[in-house]
Structure 1
Amino acid sequence: MLTLYSQPDSGNCYKPRLLLGKLGRPFRHVTVSSVNGETRTAGFLAKNPNGKVPLLELDDGQLLAESNAMLLYLGEGTRFVPEDAYQRALTYQWLFFEQYSHEPFIAVRRALTIYPERAGEATPEKMAATLLGGNKALQVMDTQLAQTPFLVGDWLTVADIALFAYTQDAAIAGFEMRQFPHVEDWLGRVRADTGHVPMDWLGA
């Protein structure tokens, strides 16, 4: 059985759990927190020298880090990863966008807002920069979602799963989601898709 090492309140960790839920694929969940230093223990570093979660351990003991890499691996051969080369490339495009243009602003602003231990980093300059960058990312998504139901087209892919994880909490981080009506509609479509599970779901 697959083993997923993850932190329950992390959006990056939610991504593979959400896909596994939609796939109906069983896995064992092991809670590992970056907040209390569990990702820096010798035992965990032996599995992932980068000292981060999520981390996926395959049935044969092979290890895979990075949430979007897990989405591509778990989604291979399913409806969540397009067979068409161009559609697949668009999926990758959105995954890279999520990591470079979305997560550094929306996820970081969320962390500065909800984790007391990060409060010291929440300077006015940092909060303004993350708001500006996050709004730009949400506008890019809103522009696309005005044209297509999902980010790559007419069907949900791992790109939607990757971007859903932190976008669903953007309001918590102080983003005015009414500015992005197509994103709000898209959030509803992702939630309505078969097998959807909330962030606090850790497996059956």
Structure 2
Amino acid sequence: MNIGYARVSTQDQRPELQLDALAAVGCEQVFQEKASGKDKDRPELDTCLKVLRQGDTLVVWRLDRLGRSLKDLVEIVHTLEVRGVSFQSLTENIDTTNAGGKLIFHVFAALAEFERNLIRERTVAGLAAARARGRMGGRRVKMSKTDVRKAAAMLHDPLITKTEVARHFGVTRVTLNLALKREGYPQNPAAPQEPGESTT
């Protein structure tokens, strides 16, 4: 059984071209929706994929109607293949019911893996370059060492509250406390302390 999926990207696009092409190849059921290709939430596609059974063929007018990216497309088609469902794209003349169509998707899968490896290598190289310049990866701290030093100096004034200091630096009291602790300052610098004592 041929089951079709049609998608248009915006509300002003019309799906008739896709619907006519899918009907011409004998699709007995067609799922259609209006959604951007970048949208993860595509309920009609989800329903379509659930309806497909072993021996069925999912038919689309063009490859970009189905996948949000090459990786996404390869994953969908691979999942269908595992379930015994074939795939056909009319514009690109791809049909996984034959050896040529299967070969094309093996090439697509290799390209997707190649793309992932390139991204991984660039990320690792970027982090290494950042470390060489003295920068570390990860989330940027909200208070620099200079900010923390200034905050500790401000807190030496017993008339200035920690809430006021936190507001001054645009952070929460929790963030301020963590920053003071990180840089080795007492939580309340204005309070008298014994050696080794930390007042919260």
TM-score computed with the length of structure 2 as normaliser: 0.25
| Bigger share in helix | 1
- For the pair shown, the structure with the greater C-alpha radius of gyration is 2
> RCO greater where, 1 or 2, for CA within 8 Å and sep 6 or more?
1
TM-score computed with the length of structure 1 as normaliser: 0.25
